[in-house]
Amino acid sequence: MLRELEELKTKAVAELNSIDNLGELEKWRVRYLGRKGALTSVLRGLGSLPIEDRRSAGAMANDIKTLLEADLQRKEEVLKEKELVAVLKQARIDVTLPGYPVSLGRLHPTTQTLREICDIFVSMGFQIVEGPEVEWDYYNFEALNIPRDHPARDMWATFWIDTESGERSRLLRTHTSPMQIRLMETTRPPIRALMPGRVYRYEATDATHESMFYQVEGLAVDQGITMSDLKGTLFEFARRLFGEERKARFRCDYFPFVEPGVEMAIDCFMCQGTGCRLCSNTGWIEILGAGMVHPEVLRRVNYDPEVYTGFAFGMGVERIPLLRYGIDDIRLFYGNDLRFLRQF
Amino acid sequence: MKVPLSWLREYVSISLPLKELAGKLTMSGTEVKGIEVTGKAWDKILVGQIIAIEPHPNADRLKLATIDYGTGQSTVVCGDLSIRVDDKVPFARLGAQLIDSHTGELVPLKPAKIRGMVSEGMACSEKELGLSERHERVMTLAPDSPVGVPLADHLGDAVLDLEVTPNRPDCLSVIGVAREIAAHLKQEMKLSDPIYTEEGPAIEKLVSVEISDADLCRRYCASLIEGVKVAPSPPWLQHRLAACGMRPINNIVDVTNYVMLEYGQPLHAFDFRQIGGARIIVRRASAGEKITSLDGVERALNPEMLAIADSKIPVAIAGVMGGADSEVIDTTTSVLLESANFNPVSIRRTSSNLKLRSEASIRFERGISPELTMPALKRATQLILKLAGGKAARGIIDVYPGRIDTEAILFHTSWVKRLLGNDLIREQIVEILTYLGFECQQVNSSEDLRVIVPYWRVDVSRAADLVEELARIIGYDYIPTTMLSSQLPRQQVDHIISFREELRDLLVGCGFQEAINYSMNSRERLAKIIPTENAVRLANPLSPEQEYLRTSLLPGLLALLAANQKHEDAGIRFFEIGKVFFARGDDLPDEREILAGILSGLRVAHSWFGEKGVLDFFDAKGVVAAVLERLGIEPAFEPVSQESLHPGRVARIMVGQSAVGLVGEVHPGVAESFDLLPQPVAIFELEIEKLLDCAKLRRRYRPVSRFPRSVRDMAIVVGVEVPAMRIVEIVRGFSLVHQITLFDLYTGEQVPPGKKSLAFRIAYQSTDHTLTDEEMETVEQEILSRLSKQLGATLRS
């Protein structure tokens, strides 16, 4: 009996070693360890053995069973692993094939720039305020210290709704500055506001002129606001928008609704200030106009210029991506050609 | 305004390199747009003097001139037979760059043998130096020219091209710019009263001047010179005018222009013989009066316009242009010189009405000082006497009804710190202002100054203006840089601003490209989409394509879709957020903000995954539904008809009782009129403000059930006319129904005619227990019976 068991073990182990797939393995299991398997029958036949043989044969059969089960498990793991490798090998793909097409959305470059500008000023406590695109002459000009028949009006070629000129004449706002008046008329200092929006100019379009574009206006009014605050605010803005290394400067300029009036420029990022075509050989690129709110403008909205001071600034939005990306034609912005828009 | 440096030097000493000078002017408000340098190429060209002239041994038409150029002498062959010994001439040494008179190009001067004689250099003509077109003569220099000095140092010049802002009419003059420079360099101006002798009879005996409309003419000065000889101006004057961009005409007219450029005061010279009655009357033109202006155009005047008239007819349009009949011409012998001050508004209106802008009108409309008339008139009289001879009548006529007191400003010097943020010491303030021509007087309190504004600074009238004067001279770099430290205002939240950006992000997330279109459109294009009766029309459109403010975003989107279809293979998805405008009588138009989208073409770009069909109504609806879901809005879609859209494929988007927009396909006829490809064009439009009102609803948390879901499918057969949404609504009415999704729609042989089969996947879930099979079956039976009762639905077998 013991020899029989020994032979059974040897045979089973030998067979197991030669098995190379899970199907055969299962058959092997049934053959030896199954309910009707060889080892099971041996164990079942133990009862017919004499009592003294029974114990030793039983112990041996159990040892063999444990051994075979362990071998089976090991073999099974090996074969499973092998099989998985084969399956994965089958499932190999060409990873250089293109992925599933996704429709990718994008914001217009003007919107992207507007957001950048607004974010910077909002972080400095400016609040965004908006107003109408069709304006009264009064807000667009008169209240901003630009009376009728003043040559300064030549600075803003205007689309008119009404032909009769007067305070109640309507026009497409030529700048976002009317919002200064609208805001001051309805609130009291302190004011710290940012006013973005579309503006219009009666100008034939070419590579550098558009009849419609965006501006961002800024206004801060309170007691004790000075031009050094304006400088600090705008230089900080320039640093954050154009980079740490950019230098900014103020120069005297004229806008009827500020006094003193300035223009801010940054050093040319193309030539680093040495002079090139982009900066017309000046080394500087104009970015915006600004100044201290004109006493007459304050008086117009019943703010006492002896008590309050303030600063205002206004900038064209498209100019920034135009410079930044080296775009040579402003008409591309509102031509909405996907081949252009997709680049931003 | 173009200003030659040499002219500026007559009024102020300039010790600064040109580039630094230009920098100072630019930084202080008068931008130097460009600098044109003459004599840049005059290397190796010196002031020479002819010390000997001999005939050329081999040619009658040539001479040999020996020229001393300071450090040496050279003999050159010369073709100008008029040269004389002692003449000072520009002498070019070998290697100098000269302009070839035939090709106009710069060529280096090489040693040459002309008819057997060696020429070691050249005596140059004006053309060879690039000064003028004259090339038949050697240029002669002034007798006092220093021999041996580089010609560039002697004759070279630089012309500054200045951008003068509208507030500074004084800088439209050489003297004005010189004053700016003087203030920067702390120099005194070299100004003196023009002196000349008056040898004629008293002017009052010869001419009279009367101002009838003093509101339009504050001052009128006139001088009279008899016996002048009209001729071309001397070269120096012609050169200066040309450098400033003006065309020389004759010595009289050139002097008026020259003095205008120099002083900033426009002048006019009349041929005195043509002034009827020897009278000048400054009056409004009468209706119907006409005048032919100097440019030869006949112009109709009206009583809004100021005329300079003689006893009968207008002889000039005041401050704008003179009349052709009294023009100074070759035969003129008597000249009446006008130097007057006119009302800026009137001049501006007149010149814009006549569409006639002149150097004079540009200056007058900016408002120059009436004090300027007299010095300019004296200067012009002096120059005419010098250049055209004649005798000046004794005295000057000066009618001055509009005299005003000199402006004085009480200047609290604390305003400097108030506006700029840093203090200036009092001495510095006084010094800067004084060099700018202001007079500073001490007032009792040591803080204050009484500042008298010089007459030419019409732009300065208050403390803030003086602060700007100080800032622009010390330079803005000296102003400190501080961050705002004032109190932060209370924020007033305008939800629409962040809401609009949220919408943008959502649309981008749905795969849409943002577009920005013009607000202006043509009536024709708008009318294809929406009636235009209440569209706002521009009074002065740039073109008919931009005549109206848009009343819909769709025409713009359709046009850009058409433009992009020409080069795009993939499906196109655009959205835009912008305003539409509706007239509201005399008031400002109603401006409404719209979100609109357009989508057309392949649903999924061409790829190896195969075709997925084209974008249509349901793609647009899917986007709208997704966007609204994110905003917490539950919309309903109602079929509706809209003229420009596909009759069977439009839905109004309802939120409660409010119609917030439309989703649909464009009518194929309309699409064709926009030159679009023949395929569905889906659109949607949402009114942002209405949307915001709906989205304001507070969100509330609903607990997530801990109990398992059971999912069952159910195919229902109903009449084809039954909207799918009806079934969904009914099913959703059962509290155990957690979710219902339509996953199949079928019509055809498998269902009876006139019927359709809709297959739904329904998820059931309870918040407080695990559903049993019996419960599920009961609910399903109830659902079916309700569908059957309300819609005649049956279960598909």
The string of DSSP letters for B639-687 reads: E---TTEEEEEEEEEEETTEEEEEEEEE-HHHHHHTT--SS-EEEEEEE
Chain B CB contacts of A115 under 8 Å are 501
Examine the pLDDT at A165 and tell me if it is beyond 80. Answer: no
Structure tokens of B242? 């040309």
The number of residues making up chain B comes to 797
Least confident of A39-48, A190-199, B77-86, B575-584: A39-48
Question: pLDDT confidence of A58, banded at 50, 70, 90?
Answer: confident
Helix then strand then coil, % of chain A, to nearest 5: 45, 20, 35
Q: Which of residues 490-509 of B touch A (CB under 8 A)?
A: 491-492, 494, 496-497, 501, 504, 507-509
Check whether A68 has a pLDDT greater than 80.
yes
> Could you tell me the pLDDT band of residue A155, with boundaries at 50, 70 and 90?
confident
Residue A175 known to be catalytic: yes
Interface membership of A144 toward B (CB under 8 Å)? no
Say if the ipTM goes beyond 0.85: yes
> Residues B481-540: pLDDT tens digits?
999 998 898 888 888 999 999 999 999 999 999 999 999 999 999 999 998 889 999 999
The HSE-up count of residue B408 (CA atoms within 13 Å, CB side) is 10
- Residues B604 and B669 sit within 8 Å (Cβ to Cβ): no
Question: Does the beta-carbon distance from B483 to A115 stay under 8 Å?
Answer: no
Q: Is the pLDDT of residue B696 over 70?
A: no
CA distance A196 to A199: 9
Task: List Cβ neighbours of B335 (8 Å cut-off, separation of 6 or more).
Answer: B224, B225, B226, B228, B252, B269, B270, B271, B272, B328, B384, B388, B390
Determine contact, residues A212/B476, Cβ cutoff 8 Å.
no
Structure tokens at B248: 């020389």
Partner residue opposite B483 with nearest CB, options A198, A233, A249: A233
Nearest Cα neighbor of A173 from A194, A193, A202 is A202
User: Is B471 at the interface with chain A, CB within 8 A?
Assistant: yes
Q: How far is B111 from chain A (nearest CA, A)?
A: 38
What is the overall mean pLDDT for chain B?
Answer: 92
pLDDT of B384 over the 70 cut: yes
- Of the listed ranges B31-45, B321-335, B561-575, the least confidently predicted one is B31-45
Residue among B476, B565, B586 with most chain A CBs within 10 A, to mutate? B476
Instruction: Using the predicted structure, report yes or no on whether residue B263 has a pLDDT greater than 70.
Output: yes
**CB B488 to CB A192 under 8 A?**
yes
Could you tell me if B741 and B695 are in contact, meaning their C-beta atoms sit under 8 angstroms apart? Answer: no
Residue A178 half-sphere exposure toward CB, CA atoms < 13 A: 25
Please tell me which of the candidates B27, B507, B539 has its beta carbon nearest to residue A161.
Answer: B539
pLDDT at B360 over 90: yes
> Chain A 248-267, CB below 8 Å of chain B: which residues?
249-254, 256, 259-262
What contacts B296, CB < 8 A, 6 or more positions away? B324
Which residues pair with residue B795 across a beta bridge? B716
pLDDT over 90 (residue A307): yes
| Record: contact A198-B519, CB cut-off 8 A | yes
Residue B735 burial by Cβ neighbours in a 10 Å radius (0-12, 13-18, 19+): exposed
Interface contact flag, A101 B520, Cβ < 8 Å: no
Instruction: Identify which of B628, B651, B672, B408 has the alpha carbon closest to the alpha carbon of residue B506.
Output: B628
Q: From the centroid of its chain, how far is CA A86?
A: 43
Alpha-carbon span B238 to B231, nearest angstrom? 12
A294 is catalytic: no
* Interface check A14 vs B, CB under 8 A: no
**CB contact, 8 Å: B329 with chain A?**
no
Q: B464–A168: do the CB atoms touch at under 8 Å?
A: no
Q: Are B380 and B256 in contact (CB under 8 A)?
A: yes
- What are the start-end ranges of the H helices in B529-601? 554-565
Q: Do A160 and B538 touch (CB under 8 A)?
A: yes
Q: Which of A258, A293, A297, A317 is catalytic?
A: A258
CB pairs under 8 A between A and B: 254
Q: 3-class SS at B307?
A: strand
| Distance (Å) from the alpha carbon of B588 to chain A's nearest alpha carbon | 6
Answer yes or no: do B484 and A229 touch at CB < 8 A.
Answer: yes
Known active-site residue A28: no
Average pLDDT estimate for B403-416: 89
Q: Can you give B461-523 as a three-state secondary structure string?
A: CCHHHHHHHHHHHHCHHHCCCCCCCCCCCCCCCCHHHHHHHHHHHHHHHCCCEECCCCCEECH
Report which of A125, A301, A305 is spatially closest to residue A220, judged by C-alpha positions. Answer: A125
Q: Chain B within 8 Å of A124 (Cβ-Cβ)?
A: yes
Average pLDDT over residues B161-178: 96
pLDDT score of B126? 83
Contacts of B501 in chain A (CB under 8 A): 115
CB contact under 8 A, A227 and B579: no
pLDDT at B227: 95
Tell me, what's the pLDDT at B697?
Answer: 61
* Rg of chain B on CA atoms, in Å: 42
Closest to A103 (Cα-Cα) out of B566, B614, B572: B572
> For residues B304 and B353, is the Cβ–Cβ distance under 8 A?
yes
B678 touches A at CB < 8 Å: no
CB proximity B709 to A under 8 Å? no
Q: What is the pLDDT of residues B296-307, one digit of tens each?
A: 999 999 999 999
Secondary structure of B48-97 in HEC code, one letter for each residue:
EEEEEEEEECCEEEEEEEEEECCCCEEEEEECCCCCCCCCEEEEECCCCE
A202 exposed, middle or buried (CB, 10 Å; 0-12, 13-18, 19+)? middle
Which residues in A lie closer than 8 A to residue B419 (C-beta atoms)?
A: 226-227, 260, 292, 309
Per residue in A238-257, pLDDT (tens digit) is 999 999 988 999 999 999 99
- Would the pTM count as exceeding 0.90? no
Residue B628's identity, in one-letter code, is: L
pLDDT tens for B385-408 read 999 999 999 999 999 999 988 879
- How far from B544 is each of B522, B538, B570, B666, CA to CA, in Å? 6, 10, 33, 25
Q: Write the CB contacts of B220 (distance below 8 Å, at least 6 apart in sequence).
A: B209, B211, B280, B282, B338, B340, B341, B373, B397, B398, B399, B400
Burial class (CB in 10 A: 0-12, 13-18, 19+), B339: buried
Q: Which has the higher per-residue pLDDT, A277 or B297?
A: B297
B543 interfacial to chain A (CB closer than 8 Å): no
By C-alpha distance, the chain A residue nearest B492 is A127
Taking residues B52-58, what's their average pLDDT? Answer: 90
Highest mean pLDDT among A280-289, B101-110, B581-590: B581-590
Task: Give me the catalytic one of A215, A221, A265, A293.
Answer: A215
Q: Residue B488's closest chain A neighbor by CA? A: A125
Residues of B in contact with A338 (CB under 8 A): 513, 564, 567-568, 572
Give yes or no for residue B28 having a pLDDT over 90: yes
Backbone angles phi, psi at B230, to 5 degrees: -75, 130
CB contact under 8 A, A338 and B418: no
Backbone angles phi, psi at A43, to 5 degrees: -60, -40
